[in-house]
Amino acid sequence: MASSTSANAIHVFSGENFDFWSIKIKTILRAYDLWEVVENGIPKADAPLKEKTEAAESTTTTTTKSESSPTTVPMKEWQKKDADALAKIHLAVSDSIFPRIMNSTSTKEAWDTLQDEFKGTVKIRAVKLQTLRRDFANLRMTEGETIKDFSSRAIEVVNQMKSYGGNITNQRVIEKFLISLTEKFDYVVNIIEETRNLSELSVTELVGSLQAHEQRISRRIEVSIEGAFQSKHKNKFQPKGGKSQRRQGNSKEGENKGKFPPCGICQKSSHQEKDCWQKGKPRCKNCKKFGHTDQTCRLKQQQQAGVSKTQEAENQIFYACQSATGKKDDV
């Protein structure tokens, strides 16, 4: 768990969350130019620095061979770096973890010991990575889960995969997000896929867009529930009225009428197109209303039923007339 020393603010590892702790301690060791000796150990002989100084790069062609040779680090300095790094690791583990590395003679030995125990050997890490890949493939957003909760769950799996050596691109994460959402996000997913370049879209931008859509859906549901509650409340506690009461129900829309240009979806001028409640809904070609298609249109069914009744009545009248004519001829 995480406490820290006041001097160097090194987080103390007590056996949990090794992946997070290892990233933090690596950053600290790099800041002190000590990570190389942790990762590779002390070289057997004086080793050259990885980067030449600017003075060495600016030497002229007349410089002698001894002057132009790379600057080397004496063995004594490597040993000092190793001791400094080992001291920082000692300070960064709790008393319950320290016995595991107390006999380590080098920083690399201490680091490998901790990594093998809490992160696993190469073979064990490969098995864990395979399990995480399976978890990533099976990721699905559940009904009732928010974008915030789902994104946190997905990003945690991705980070664990990376900590175990998995190579996963940002575009693959984006594509996984889009195919794992619930049906209520289908509309916004289609827009993102058609208008955005997924290779340039970041996870943060995607989550922000999805959360904005989620908030918009929540507001509409709240307005719908509030309207239904108010309608039920009025019907229960107010006497039945005529047309005047029904007209009052549309007063809010009437107040906003004319304040906006005609909506491109429903043609009303009481709201903007982006706030149109009919946005994304199918429109019937028969009655021109939203929320259903002409195949399920009640008006069309009623019209067809009316035509059938009319045809049946006409057939009955025709049959009666024919029967009456036949009887008259018999007489």
Determine the 3-state secondary structure of 125 from DSSP: helix
Per-residue pLDDT, 51:
42
- Average confidence (pLDDT) over 87-102: 93
With beta carbons less than 8 A apart as the criterion, state whether 107 and 78 touch: no
Q: Are residues 192 and 97 in the same domain?
A: no
Which tens digit of pLDDT belongs to each residue from 156-187?
999 889 888 888 999 999 999 999 999 988 98
Q: Which residues pair with 73 in a beta bridge?
A: 47
User: Which has the closest alpha carbon to 210: 297, 275, 145, 135?
Assistant: 145
Q: Are residues 133 and 183 in the same domain?
A: yes
For residues 296 and 282, what is the distance between their CA atoms, to the nearest angstrom? 11
Q: What are the DSSP E strand ranges found in the chain? A: 47-48, 72-73
Say whether pLDDT at 54 is over 50.
no
Percentage, residues of the chain above pLDDT 70:
66
DSSP state of 140: -
Q: Determine, yes or no, domain membership for 81.
A: yes
Place of tokens 């980070």: 159
Say whether pLDDT at 300 is over 50.
yes
Say whether pLDDT at 46 is over 50.
yes
- Average confidence (pLDDT) over 197-206: 91
Q: Are residues 152 and 103 in the same domain?
A: no
- Average confidence (pLDDT) over 71-81: 83
Per-residue pLDDT, 245:
47
Q: Determine, yes or no, domain membership for 29.
A: yes
Q: Are residues 97 and 153 in the same domain?
A: no
Q: Are residues 169 and 99 in the same domain?
A: no
Q: Are residues 157 and 214 in the same domain?
A: yes
DSSP line for 29-59: HHHTT-HHHHHH---SS-EE-SS--HHHHT-
Domain boundary among 218, 233, 257: 218
Q: Determine, yes or no, domain membership for 254.
A: no
With beta carbons less than 8 A apart as the criterion, state whether 100 and 19 touch: no
DSSP state of 183: G
Q: Determine, yes or no, domain membership for 311.
A: no
- Average confidence (pLDDT) over 124-149: 92
Determine the 3-state secondary structure of 4 from DSSP: strand
Q: Across all residues in the chain, what is the average pLDDT?
A: 76
Percentage, residues of the chain above pLDDT 90:
32
Q: Determine, yes or no, domain membership for 182.
A: yes
pLDDT band of residue 228 (cuts 50, 70, 90) is: low
Per-residue pLDDT, 323:
52
**Number of domains the chain is built from:** 2
Domain limits for position 148: 124-218
Q: Which helix (H) or strand (E) holds 23?
A: helix 18-31
For residues 241 and 249, what is the distance between their CA atoms, to the nearest angstrom? 12
With beta carbons less than 8 A apart as the criterion, state whether 59 and 68 touch: yes
Flag the least confident range among 12-26, 41-55, 168-182, 214-228.
41-55
Say whether pLDDT at 190 is over 50.
yes
Which tens digit of pLDDT belongs to each residue from 261-287?
888 777 777 777 777 777 777 888 777
Q: Determine, yes or no, domain membership for 246.
A: no
Q: Determine, yes or no, domain membership for 92.
A: yes
Q: Are residues 111 and 142 in the same domain?
A: no
For residues 12 and 9, what is the distance between their CA atoms, to the nearest angstrom? 9
Separation in Å, CA 140 to CA 136, 180, 185, 309: 9, 5, 13, 52
- Average confidence (pLDDT) over 82-97: 93
Domain boundary among 119, 146, 178: 119
